[in-house]
Amino acid sequence: MQYRGRFAPTPSGPLHLGSLVTALASFLDARAHAGQWLLRIDDLDTPRIVPGAESLILRQLEAHGLHWDERTYRQSAHQDAYRQALSVLGARADIFGCQCTRAALAQRLPQGPDDAVYDGHCRGLGLEGPVLRFQVPTGRVQLQDRWRGSILRDLTTEVGDFVVRRRDGQIGYQLASAVDEQLLGITQVVRGRDLIGSSLRQQLLLQALGQPVPGFAHGPLLLDQDGRKLSKQNHASPIDDRCPIDNLLRALSALAQPLPEERPDSVPALLHWAIARWNPRALPSTDLTMGHR
Ligand SMILES: [Zn+2]
């Protein structure tokens, strides 16, 4: 089976060094496996979308030589597939309506390793929603991370029933992403370590839908001086398109990959060099704090 990977940014702002590191890791892993690398714009969370951010991200990827295969996919174009998946889960009685208020949840739910853990409050009450939750089975879920090995979670105490349709009627991120991996034939998902909990939930959904589950691999995160993930919310500065070679060298260094002794004379030459030497075993097992520049 041919390797098909993807990068799936939310168009909420320009790429920063942390998102470039994630994009580069998934790109290098796909190309080193002679695989395809797709681009999917995760544009369902409309309150977070910033006008112009999508075209900016596409321009940034191109400036850094991260050319994707096929057309640009958008989650907003896949609503029919999401609704169909929701009805499959409904027919299996795998989902239930939840009418807990945000305030009640914030007060009641314990924090798990990934997210707040729902306590099953509305299970079996036959409520309409608007929020729909996926009812997790009992027992444990195991995710085999290609780079980190086995990751285990107890479904009841560490995961809990999670949202598949949101309060505003929009399909939840976990279901949309799970359906998309299947829709686009993704065989390998490479993403940041902060999304391990999402991978576990998406694996559960794909299994419930009777669909193949892709492989997963989670890379390190870049942290700011305060130990927070570099993100648009933390106002991480956008990468500067005018110096793509410097940005790529910094990203390679963050991924603990070898660096060329002489400065490469072009972006394609650098990427070609890096693909040939891609070594996931060298990836740092802990997150990296970016020093001031
Ligand atoms: Zn509830």
How confident is the model over 119-163, as pLDDT tens digits? 999 999 999 989 999 999 999 999 999 999 999 999 999 999 999
Q: Using a CB cutoff of 8 Å and minimum separation of 24, what contacts does 232-241 make?
A: 232/12, 232/13, 232/14, 232/16, 236/16, 236/17, 236/18, 237/16, 238/13, 238/14, 238/15, 238/16, 238/60, 239/14, 239/15, 239/16, 239/17, 239/20, 239/60, 239/64, 241/59, 241/60, 241/63, 241/64
How many angstroms separate the alpha carbon of residue 66 from the centre of ligand 1? 43
Count of CB atoms situated within 10 Å of the CB of 227: 8
How many angstroms separate the alpha carbon of residue 88 from the centre of ligand 1? 21
Count of CB atoms situated within 10 Å of the CB of 206: 19
The rounded distance, in Å, linking the Cα atoms of 59 and 107 is: 43
Residue 57: predicted pLDDT:
97
How many angstroms separate the alpha carbon of residue 100 from the centre of ligand 1? 4
Residue 293: predicted pLDDT:
42
Residue 222: predicted pLDDT:
85
What residues pack around ion ligand 1 (CB closer than 5 A)? 98, 100, 121-122
Decide if 118 contacts 95 (C-beta within 8 A). no
Residues 6+ apart with CB under 8 A from 102: 167
How many angstroms separate the alpha carbon of residue 68 from the centre of ligand 1? 41
Indicate the residue type of 109: L
The rounded distance, in Å, linking the Cα atoms of 175 and 181 is: 10
Count of CB atoms situated within 10 Å of the CB of 10: 20
Decide if 191 contacts 218 (C-beta within 8 A). yes
Residue 291: predicted pLDDT:
54
Q: Flag whether the pTM goes above 0.85.
A: yes
How confident is the model over 214-232, as pLDDT tens digits? 999 999 988 877 777 777 7
In the chain (293 residues long), the average pLDDT of successive 10-residue segments reads: 96 94 97 98 93 96 98 97 96 94 96 95 93 96 95 97 96 97 98 95 97 96 79 79 96 95 96 98 84 47
